Amino acid sequence: MLTAISFYLLAAVAIGAAFLVVASRNPVHSVMYLILTFFSAAGLFILMGAEFLALLIIMVYVGAVAVLFLFVVMMLDVDFVEMKQGFLQYMPYGIAVALVLFVEMILVGAAYYSGTTTTVVERDPNVSNLEAFGEVLYTEYAGMFEAAGLILLVALIGAVVLTLRERGGVRKQDIVEQNARTRATGVEHVDIEPGQGIG
């Protein structure tokens, strides 16, 4: 019963938060909803007995949210002065998200330690959870795993292309021209009259 309640609560919060990540106009709100989505997904993995994947989501993805936020700020040119003026208005919002995360952690911990969770991988008792997941992930789902990596690579290249801007008036280094320079082309002898500058 406790596992079912935890599952439905985590699933509902994950779906709702994922929708609000896209629907929210404020990038700060989107990042907070994204953190909530990742925590809810991690709780679902724990309920399925995939503790490694849950820790992977929290350590890698939640840790990378700060980098994602910086990237969004660089792309959207957010006005920091305006954001700092309304800093206190985010306090109740942040407290609400923190309370939801706290309730989720309590439910997941209670369901996990009550022994009612099941594992998504049937394994030998002598084989650890991580070894069983690695064996299934790199055999039955190897194609999907590589496709996910390819999608992330394309997303990375697309992000770099979107932020790469050609700006005029920027002095660039020309190595070929530098190596081809001689004393005659690189040095100019100027005879300056006293009291006058170079025009």
Rounded to whole angstroms, the Cα distance separating 43 from 55 reads 10
Q: Are residues 73 and 155 in the same domain?
A: no
Q: Are residues 161 and 146 in the same domain?
A: yes
- Residue 23 belongs to a domain: yes
Rounded to whole angstroms, the Cα distance separating 68 from 60 reads 12
- Residue 193 belongs to a domain: no
Q: Are residues 2 and 37 in the same domain?
A: yes
Rounded to whole angstroms, the Cα distance separating 72 from 31 reads 10
- Residue 129 belongs to a domain: yes
Q: Within the chain, where are the H helices?
A: 2-23, 27-47, 51-56, 63-76, 80-85, 91-113, 129-137, 142-163, 175-179, 183-186
- Residue 181 belongs to a domain: no
The larger pLDDT score, comparing residue 96 to residue 112, is at: 96
- Residue 53 belongs to a domain: yes
Q: Are residues 115 and 131 in the same domain?
A: no
Residues in the chain: 199
Q: Are residues 95 and 130 in the same domain?
A: no
Q: Are residues 17 and 112 in the same domain?
A: yes
pLDDT over 80 (residue 82) = no
Asked whether 108 and 10 are in contact (CB, 8 A), the reply is: yes
- Residue 128 belongs to a domain: yes
For tokens 């309590």, the residue is: 106
- Residue 187 belongs to a domain: no
Q: Are residues 113 and 25 in the same domain?
A: yes
Q: Find the mean pLDDT for residues 77-98.
A: 69
pLDDT over 60 (residue 49) = yes
Asked whether 145 and 137 are in contact (CB, 8 A), the reply is: yes
Question: For the chain, what is the mean pLDDT?
Answer: 77
Say what percent of the chain tops pLDDT 70.
80
Q: Are residues 5 and 57 in the same domain?
A: yes
Please, what is the end-to-end C-alpha distance for the chain in angstroms?
87
Q: Are residues 59 and 101 in the same domain?
A: yes
The larger pLDDT score, comparing residue 81 to residue 170, is at: 170
The larger pLDDT score, comparing residue 179 to residue 75, is at: 179
Q: How many domains does the chain have?
A: 2
pLDDT at site 83: 59
Q: Are residues 100 and 10 in the same domain?
A: yes
HSE-up of residue 11 (Cα within 13 Å, Cβ side):
8
pLDDT at site 184: 80
Q: Are residues 104 and 16 in the same domain?
A: yes
Q: Find the mean pLDDT for residues 178-187.
A: 82
Q: What is the pLDDT of residues 162-172, one digit of tens each?
A: 777 777 777 77
pLDDT over 80 (residue 3) = no
Q: Are residues 53 and 110 in the same domain?
A: yes
- Residue 173 belongs to a domain: no
Q: What is the pLDDT of residues 101-154, one digit of tens each?
A: 788 778 777 776 776 555 555 556 677 777 777 777 788 888 888 898 898 788
Q: What does each C-alpha distance from 12 to 48, 55, 58, 100, 145 come to in angstroms?
A: 16, 21, 19, 12, 26
Asked whether 20 and 29 are in contact (CB, 8 A), the reply is: yes
Structural domain containing residue 18: 1-120
